Structure 1
């Protein structure tokens, strides 16, 4: 029976946050499909490649594919389809190569690799996910303390929500994690002013070059939020 296609989590960016299980599997892979984000400016860079190469993964193992970064998702969807089609073709030709698809963070948490996995499942292939450290967990390690405790709940908002959803989140007694801060900077700044009783923590590029963390509301208000920013808002305890 053919091995499954592995979806391997690389962690948030720091090579030391990859799991031993993930690293050992990647070392044994013949093909590792690796996204290379393509900015509208034409700039190409791949943090995933940097992580793996720094850990001793050989360049010839990497199968890079361009991933257009745009709100218009047609280009990205075409890239996912291309990777899936190639893996499906290899499987149908009887290839015995061990194949992995990598994702930053955790491959099962807001990961674009899920679209590739959906195509593979539709074609009848087996997949297996390897757990990793998602960015918001690494972020809370920098902030310190418990992300949630006792009967508290955690709500994760992927940068966009309705006015009613935002109000419900801020007025609750639970921890809120907001991903992709650039999509909702105006709402975050508004909420920090309206709900000073909450604890506010702002982070950029966690685990990567340019990592930044602040809990100073005045300082946070002066920053321009990049796409890879996370906000952790905790209700006051005690």
Structure 2
């Protein structure tokens, strides 16, 4: 990919600010934590989405740029574009993930994490590995300055080495001052240059090798990555 093509795919609006992207990121992670704290066994996916919408409205977001996604149990294997099962209920020993895309200060946040209720060790391990893979892949970007394509090749290799399957239908995407969609940037995993800070979301979705559930984790790639995301231990209850 030549520099002109890369610049087109990383274009932003006149009002773009990295500081506002960082603010949107912080507020999005605060909302994910609050949403997760209110999800309990017995709730349906539809009830969880309604709860999430209420949290985001009370938090004062500008708007959403993508619908709230909450997946329970086997639904954690579904990709973003697949239809949810609104009546699916969360069990006493179960796994779920949250994916939100709110806009704050005119800039797009995008945060997603996986949570576990109960004490199923495989489910806890799945959530932890999704976070671990995200950390390793993002650090690979910071340390080595590789392309988006190389990042997902590295992610697939590391997932396999840890005994999990990476869903390569999910390969990250652009964000910026709203709306990023006008730039037609495509997937991070198809971006053949090194992604710039604050413009791309790294998505990791894995599946258990034999049981019907998975885990999801996403965050914006930021070169200075300190004190924004929750500690791994805070995501399992």
TM-score when normalising by structure 2: 0.30
Structure with greater contact order relative to length (CA < 8 Å, sep ≥ 6):
2
Max radius of gyration: which structure? 1
TM-score by length of 1: 0.30
